[in-house]
Amino acid sequence: MPNTITDTQFNFPGQKSVYKGKVREVYTLDNNVLVMIATDRLSAFDVVMPKGIPYKGQILNQIATKMMGATADIIPNWLIATPDPNVAIGHACEPFKVEMVIRGYLSGHAAREYKAGKRTLCGVSMPEGMKENDAFPEPIITPATKAEMGDHDEDISKEDILAKGIVSLADYEVLEKYTRALFQRGTELAAARGLILVDTKYEFGKTASGEIVLIDEIHTPDSSRYFYTNGYKERQAKGEAQKQLSKEFVRQWLISHEFQGLEGQTLPEMSDEYIATVSERYIELYENITGEAFVKAPLEDIVQRIEQNVLSFLSS
């Protein structure tokens, strides 16, 4: 798509390295500062789609930074500034190599595993007799290993994380505590917007001084699933699909075209018309999650815009 940013090749002052994830590109500078670019890439089933989605990077970055501010009293975070709609600048941390996934409802991946007959996910038991999108008696934490671009995140139990030495017991207990507290805050923020926070993931890192902080994104439609509160109980009672605010609609479109990222499957082509509808849905997500009108950043010379804004911040 024109006017999208799907790859960057910046060379900032003091730049030491570049890491390219599925959606974000992280530039490490020599003063322990990270420049994180939220691209317009779209990832589903751990596969990056060939075309970008207009405004998607801006939407994710702005939701994430707003939510960082709304949870800073619970846990410190890596963020310093957002000099551009697509950019967050923050402190360099050593990331924990797990994603802390927390689920309040039997949805998405958990529902697919449950439907396949499994009653344990990441070492956590799921009750018998549940229907898709039912609430768990209490939220469950189902961690995943962090994948590189093109690789699949993999479920992993707390026991395996500790046994493999991926995270120490002391640190893991802190991550669990923060995960539950953040999910509770996210649930409250969502409820104020007439939404249900269904599930989400959090990523954490450790600063040079040993402090555990929140990193990456938080409560965005890429990292979280939301339902509308209005009509939720009625739809469950009738066995109807829930009205969602997440990128699940993209996953369902891919599933309808016989693609779930499995070996041998062919990625269907997304037309420009369909991509335009995806962009519109992301704007809807932003406005519903934040309660604010979305202000579109200029798309002309988007790469130059980002570079100028970052350089201006760094020089100051």
Residue 90's CATH number = 3.30.200.20
Q: Is residue 306 part of a domain?
A: yes
pLDDT tens profile 29-49? 998 899 999 999 998 888 889
156 and 107 both lie in a single domain: yes
106 and 243 both lie in a single domain: yes
168 and 67 both lie in a single domain: no
> Structure pTM?
0.88
Answer with the one of 249, 281, 306 that is the final residue of a domain: 249
Average pLDDT value over all residues in the chain = 93
Instruction: Provide the pLDDT confidence category of residue 208 given band limits of 50, 70 and 90.
Output: confident
In the chain, the number of structural domains is: 2
Domain of 123 in residue numbering reads as 96-249
Decide if 137 contacts 103 (C-beta within 8 A).
Answer: no
71 and 101 both lie in a single domain: no
- Residue 230 belongs to a domain with what CATH number? 3.30.470.20
153 pLDDT above the threshold of 80: no
